[in-house]
Amino acid sequence: MLTFDEVKHEYKWDGIVVPSVTQIIGEWLELPQFNIYVNKNTGKTIPSDVMENAADFGTAIHRAIKLLINDNLDWDSLNESLKKPLQSFLRWWEQDRNSLKHIFSVFDFKTGNSDNVGPQLAGYIPLIQDNDLRGVGGQFKCEIPLYSGKYGYAGTPDLILNYKKSVIPRRYILKIPKNGDRCKAIEITGSNDWIYFKAKLTEYNYLKGVK
């Protein structure tokens, strides 16, 4: 059985802690003595407060979207900075999502105004194919924690639409602009993200083994 501790951001399978996709990728390294985060791939640095504020904003957007999808969102209680991106998402949800004819579509949300989506792992395809999702059901589900027994890691796609077992999912990044512009669904068609992830998974397991 898979459990997820949201406060610790910790997954357990049958009581044993398993790594998350975020942990495996390990893209950002915190240097608290300098109050910065460093991207281990590019060397880019971001002030700690900027990174942490962005993380808090992203978490708030994800939680609000989950409430919105389930018709439990109290718009009056929202921070003003959240309203425009959520209005953008609502327009996409009501008008554009039904234009997707694919039986099984998996989305990860990205909030911001940049066109650079970078390396992505929308839906973690091997993870989804390795799971029995018969309990998901319905037209859509938001934030379903999943575990890959084959590869030994866990993750949570942001949104699953039109689930059907044994169908390979179409993978998307849904860009949600902060300024209220129209959302854009970008399909991820290449395999480079999975190749990159497997390399990082091998690295993670090796480093864990030598500690």
pLDDT at residue number 116: 46
Work out the average pLDDT over 149-178. Answer: 81
Tokens standing for residue 44? 């880019």
Q: Which of 12-16, 95-99, 114-118 has the highest mean pLDDT?
A: 12-16
Domain spans of the chain, in order of start: 2-210
pLDDT at residue number 117: 44
> What are the phi and psi torsion angles at 17 (to 5°)?
-65, 135
Rounded mean pLDDT of the chain?
81
Does 162 have pLDDT greater than 80?
no
pTM equals 0.79
**pLDDT per residue over 99-138, tens digit each?**
666 667 778 888 865 544 444 555 555 566 566 555 454 5
Residue the block writes with tokens 């962005």: 54
The residue type found at 84 is: K
pLDDT at residue number 155: 86
pLDDT at residue number 54: 86
Residue 100 per-residue DSSP state:
-
How far is 176 from 165, CA to CA, in rounded Å? 28
Question: How many other CB atoms sit within 10 Å of the CB of residue 108?
Answer: 20
Cβ partners under 8 Å of residue 133, min gap 6: 144, 146, 163, 165
Output 136 or 185, whichever has higher pLDDT. Answer: 185
Question: How many other CB atoms sit within 10 Å of the CB of residue 159?
Answer: 24
Q: With pLDDT > 70 as the criterion, what percentage of the chain qualifies?
A: 81
Dihedral sign, CA of 44, 47, 53, 59?
positive
* DSSP E strand boundaries for 34-193: 36-39, 45-47, 105-111, 140-142, 146-148, 153-155, 159-161, 170-176, 184-188
**pLDDT per residue over 44-66, tens digit each?**
899 999 988 888 898 899 899 98
